[in-house]
Structure 1
Amino acid sequence: MRASRFTAALAAVTIAATGLTACSNESGSDTNANGADGENVTVRIGTTDADQQAWSVFSDLAAEEGITLDIVQFSDYPPVNEALAQGELDLNKFQHILYLAKYNASSGNDLKVVGSTEIYPLALFWKDHDSLDGIDGEEVAIPNDDSNQGRAINVLVQAGLVTLKDGADELAPTPADIDTDASKVSVVPVDASQTPSAYKEGRPAIINNSWLDRAGIEPTEAIFQDDPGSAQGEPYINVFASRAEDIDNPTYVRLAELWHDPKVTEAVQQDSRGTAVKVERPANELNDILERLEQNEK
């Protein structure tokens, strides 16, 4: 039997319906801070993808070091950071740095990064095409949400298909920042869930990983993707987050390290169908990126 307990999706609904309550000392950060001394401790982690194989492998590795993972599944993104901020969780792992920065800036809370996990390249797909040849003049469907629209436009910038106006926000451009006369394609923002439909209708589309899987589109069919190692990619590094006072908690830091164990990495690759790119950056660098992004949001 695994040491971790996977909480059903109903738990997320229950939390949302009944309100959040603070963790008791048995599962709170005071107890978990002693994990480095060899005591068996429980760490409560919120996520939106608890069914993935990587969590099972990760839980088993943590158990070998006396750390029991209580993994709480959420059905949507917004409640996960709020649950952490209010003490219902010890850590969460579901978001990239930009999403966390937007949350902090809008909520006034101060969640921090404990460690990095992966980055997932964002790609351009065009049915029955294997290159950018012939794409000039096409309308490209892009996701219209705050977390992906700017990045999608930058995918087209990196592909040489879109030119931004002078003075545009290079980190998070909007359609209004596009110099249409100097660009080779135009963009049509749509709900992210509709990008696979645009692709299947024969239009070029930028589709993020979660919708690729649901639509049965192979990542290898991409005709272009952004560079995860570029400065433009830094906001999209996925992370473990904690409350500010817990970023040096030795148990949490150790868990962030364990995520990079080769067994977890192999499982992540299987879950992502080979698209995930491992990122190992010091926490101080990640929090510097977070701070810069928060300043941009204010």
Structure 2
Amino acid sequence: MTNHQTNQKTKRTNRLRAAVLGAVLFLTACGAEEAGDVTVIGATSGPYSDQLNEGVQEALEGTRTIRVVEFNDYIQPNRSLVEGSIDANVFQHGLFLANYTNETDEPLVGVFSVPTAPIGLYSKRHDALTDVSRGHRIALPNDPVNLARSLRQIASYGWATFDETVPPEAWTERDVVDNPHDLVFDTLDAATLPRTLDDVDFAFINGNYALASGLTFDEAVALEETPDDYLIQFTVAEEDASSDWVEDVRRAYASRAFYDYTRNETPGYVIPDWLKEAWHDYD
């Protein structure tokens, strides 16, 4: 077993502790809300809620309390932010957010990016990209942005080619122009993709859902080299973008405590450039 796999198994054990911590933070928050120093942040279950509960909260100790609300889909976090039941969310990359705001005209903004778990190609049947064969079934996220993201990976593997008149960030399975392996594309809710591995040849699984399901990066057939557009954003209402509490949280992410947490607990995550610069003296 690699050190990384050991870390991931430890993370799964620690989630129970995180749940207990979350309950404690909730009780603390109830007593502190009148003082205005409680920040409610939504995150998908797994790595991003863990970052907040285990890394950011420690770095904020003595200055601000956060209460983390966990979600299991990609719809409710933005809806809850718009409705005002949470102050911020951590689950979506820049292109997903841009697609959401274009469709809804809601004033949400990503104020900084956070260490990001890369999307990966996983399989229980195959060990290498060269194992692809005629008729193989490929499961992909069904939201437009992550679907296109996965299809771009397929193009980079040489498994298929796509209509050059369509921007790659807008590709769907209908834009395939050459499919030499006659691959079958199954588009499904991103949260369900880990459960498809018994039934398909390969599945593209977002990093948060892969880790939350017990998969490790070491088990991926291939991992994306994540560009800036796909880094997860700390997202708030536009009117809050310059708030003191946002700056408090940003400083917590940039702190030595969060640096140590990231290096020790989440190896393999993609680190944004701004954090690399902030952490320069810690390396």
Judged with a 3 Å threshold, the aligned counterparts in structure 2 of structure 1 residues 215 and 81 are, in CA distance, closer, same or farther, namely closer
Structure 1 residues 226, 261: closer, same or farther in 2, change over 3 A?
A: same
Q: Among all aligned residue pairs of Structure 1 and Structure 2, give the percentage whose two residues are the same amino acid.
A: 22
Tell me if 1:280 matches 2:273. Answer: yes
Matches of 1:76 and 1:206, distance apart in 2: 16
Q: Secondary structure at the match of 1:142?
A: strand
Q: CA deviation at 1:252?
A: 0.7
Q: What is residue 47 of structure 1 aligned with on the other side? A: 43
Instruction: Name the residue aligned to 1:89.
Output: 86
Following superposition, the deviation at residue 86 of structure 1 comes to: 3.6
Give deviations 1:41-65, integer Å, cap 9, x for gaps: 332322233862652331121123x
Q: Calculate the aligned-residue CA RMSD, in Å.
A: 3.3
Q: Secondary structure at the match of 1:161?
A: coil
Aligned partner of 1:173 among 165, 171, 174:
171
Q: Which has the higher helix share?
A: 2
- Residue of structure 2 equivalent to 1:190: 187
CA distance 1:147–1:262, change in 2 (3 Å): farther
- Distance in 2 separating the partners of 1:157 and 1:203: 17
* Alpha carbons 1:116, 1:240 under 8 Å: kept: yes
Does structure 1 conserve the Cα–Cα contact (< 8 Å) formed by 2:25 and 2:65? no
Change (3 A) 1:154 1:185: farther
Q: Answer whether contact 1:57 1:263 (CA < 8 A) is retained.
A: yes
Structure 2 contact 49–68 (Cα < 8 Å) conserved: no
Question: Runs of 4 or more off by more than 6 Å in structure 1?
Answer: none
**Which residue of the other structure, out of 201, 204, 219, is the alignment partner of 1:203?**
201
1:100-156 Cα offsets, whole Å, 9 max, x none, are 223222222111122110232222223353322231433322232334211111111
- Aligned with 1:139 (options 137, 140, 149): 137
C-alpha distance in 1 between matches for 2:222 and 2:80: 37
> Structure 2 matches for 1:107-256, cutoff 5 A?
107-137=104-134, 138-181=136-179, 183-184=180-181, 186-191=183-188, 192=190, 195-201=193-199, 203-213=201-211, 215-228=213-226, 233-256=227-250
- Please, what TM-score do these two structures have when normalized by structure 1? 0.69
User: Which runs of 5 or more structure 2 residues have no equivalent in the other structure?
Assistant: 1-20, 28-32, 276-283
1:264-279 matches, cutoff 5 A:
264-268=258-262, 274-279=267-272
Question: What is the CA–CA distance in structure 2 between the aligned matches of 1:278 and 1:100, rounded to whole Å?
Answer: 19
TM-score (norm 2): 0.72
1:71 to 47, 65, 68: 68
Aligned residue for 1:30? none
The question of whether the paired residues in 2 share the 8 Å contact of 1:96 and 1:239 is answered with: yes
Structure 1 residues 26 and 185: CA distance shift in structure 2, 3 A: farther
| Whole-angstrom CA distance in 2 between matches of 1:172 and 1:7 | 40
Q: For residue 44 of structure 2, what is the amino acid of its counterpart? A: T
Structure 1 counterpart of 2:177, which letter? D
Partners of 1:44 and 1:202 in 2: how far apart?
38
C-alpha separation between the residues in 1 aligned to 2:172 and 2:114? Answer: 27
Structure 1 gaps, min length 5: 9-23, 28-40, 283-298
CA distance in 1, matches of 2:203, 2:95: 22
**1:103 maps to 2:75:** no
Over residues 205-245 of structure 1, what are the superposed CA-to-partner deviations in whole Å (9 max), with x where a residue is unaligned? 222334434554432122222211xxxx3332111111212
Q: Secondary structure at the match of 2:78?
A: helix
Q: Deviations over 1:176-227 (max 9, x none)?
A: 111125x445241232455445533461222233443455443212222221
Letter in 1 for 2:105: G
Q: Distance in 2 between matches of 1:54 and 1:271?
A: 13
SS at match of 1:167: coil
Q: How many residues of Structure 1 are paired with residues of Structure 2 in the alignment?
A: 247
